[in-house]
Amino acid sequence: MAVEIERKFLLSFIPDNLKIQERKTIYQSYLATGKEEVRIRRVEWEDKSKFYMTYKNRLNNKQGREEIEIEITENTYHQLNNKSVPVIKDRLVIELGNGLYAEVDIFKNIGFELKTVEVEFKSYEEAEGFVPPDWFGRELTGTKEYNNQSLWMKVNGRDS
């Protein structure tokens, strides 16, 4: 099981001079919520689509989670997601240098404007030593109200 180590920040704007490596639209729903979560995603880019199911388990720190992700068929995705409204977000992948990438998410259907950026790291030391660029806003790592699961629950009229 891989460990995902990341930090998340709020964005008030996205600078025009960023070199975007990749653009995609993500439709994300949850089958299980809480400390352990199971989510499904439809990811679209250019004229392609892929479907995933991911299990995540929060570790005892705010930066790390165990993660298992598998690709599923479109049919399986629709069977699993037949009754919920997905969170929809556009994702921009931006190279930061030193082997790091920023994933900028622009949320589309959550009832308010929200842009966030996440950076994944290879180690906790790398995460702790990371100095965010000036265009990153307030850190949201570990803030429940801004995590994707809580946003999905709001979109679907559930308490988080």
- The CATH number given to whatever domain includes residue 97 is 2.40.320.10
Assigned domain for 110 exists: yes
Q: Please, which pLDDT band fits residue 58 given cuts at 50, 70 and 90?
A: confident
Q: Please say whether the beta carbons of 50 and 43 come within 8 A.
A: yes
Domain count of the chain?
1
The amino acid occupying position 151 is L
Q: Please, which pLDDT band fits residue 125 given cuts at 50, 70 and 90?
A: very high
Q: Is the pLDDT of residue 36 over 80?
A: yes
Q: Is the pLDDT of residue 43 over 80?
A: yes
Q: Is the pLDDT of residue 60 over 80?
A: no
**143: alpha, beta or left? (left if phi > 0; alpha if psi -120 to 50):** beta
Active-site residue identified among 27, 30, 52, 146: 30
For the entire predicted model, the pTM comes to 0.92
Assigned domain for 128 exists: yes
Assigned domain for 44 exists: yes
Averaged confidence pLDDT in the chain: 93
Which token pair is 4? Answer: 């995902």
Mean local confidence (pLDDT), 63-72: 90
Assigned domain for 112 exists: yes
Assigned domain for 29 exists: yes
Establish whether 52 is a catalytic residue. Answer: no
Q: Which tens digits make up the pLDDT trace of 99-124?
A: 999 999 999 999 999 999 999 999 99
Can you give the residue range of the structural domain that contains 72? 2-155
- The pLDDT value recorded for residue 65 is 85
- The pLDDT value recorded for residue 106 is 98
Assigned domain for 99 exists: yes
**124: alpha, beta or left? (left if phi > 0; alpha if psi -120 to 50):** alpha
Q: Please, which pLDDT band fits residue 2 given cuts at 50, 70 and 90?
A: confident
Assigned domain for 160 exists: no
Distance CA 32, CA 21 (A): 32
- The pLDDT value recorded for residue 62 is 63
Assigned domain for 102 exists: yes
